[in-house]
A = this chain, B = another copy of it.
Amino acid sequence: MPDSVALDPVDLHILRLLQNDARTTYRELAAEVGVAPSTCLDRVARLRRSGVILGHRLRLDPARIGRGLEALLLVQVRPHRRELIGPFVERIRALPESRAFFHLTGPDDYLVHVAVAGPADLQRLVLDEFTSRREVARVETRLIFQQWECGPLLPPSEGARAPESQPGSPAP
């Protein structure tokens, strides 16, 4: 199901523009790309249907809404079994402080990106929501000095299909 979708240069151009500003109008897109507005509408609808475009997200500045301190929490869950990680995942996802949440390979099972008001809130979060849980074996807190969102996520090379991996290492 998460299969790669073929994107032609028009799709790529549209996606690139929309990633700069997701509210660009179809008329503007059309003017930039060199097709008719209705064609843009068509393309975007198709990209949406095929699952390439997941949605539009409002980006807020955490610091401006009283969440000036961000951190990454590396969490070990032991034993690392489905019965335990299900509730853990649901709880962490639901925390208002959670921004993103990863299940990983390596010594730490999860990485949680949190945004809080200050050190006291971070301490409360770690103690009340993590170390107090029986299945949480270890939490390592790393403060974020600075962060960057990187350039538009676009296909490997101009409209190319996924360059596939070497023999013996099939992609997921």
Residues of A within 8 A of B (CB): 2-5, 7, 15, 18-19, 21-23, 50-69, 72, 89, 93-96, 98-106, 108, 111, 115-121, 140, 142-151, 153-156, 160-166, 169-172
CB A43 to nearest CB in B, in angstroms, measures: 13
Q: Which B residue sits closest to A106, measured CB to CB?
A: B142
Contacts of A66 in B (CB 8 A): 4, 155-156, 160-163
Contacts of A104 in B (CB 8 A): 72, 142-145
Contact with A21, one of B52, B56, B93, B154 (Cβ below 8 angstroms): B56
Residue pair B52, A65 in contact (C-beta under 8 Å): yes
Those 7 A-B pairs whose CB atoms lie nearest each other, nearest first: A66-B162, A118-B165, A118-B171, A98-B150, A2-B63, A22-B56, A106-B142
Contacts of A108 in B (CB 8 A): 142
Residue pair A155, B65 in contact (C-beta under 8 Å): yes
Contacts of A156 in B (CB 8 A): 66-67, 96, 116-117, 121
Apart from A62-B153, A106-B140, list 20 A-B contacts with CB within 8 A: A22-B58, A52-B60, A53-B59, A55-B59, A57-B59, A66-B161, A68-B171, A72-B104, A93-B151, A96-B156, A100-B148, A101-B148, A102-B145, A103-B147, A111-B142, A117-B171, A118-B164, A119-B171, A120-B163, A120-B164
Residue pair A166, B67 in contact (C-beta under 8 Å): no
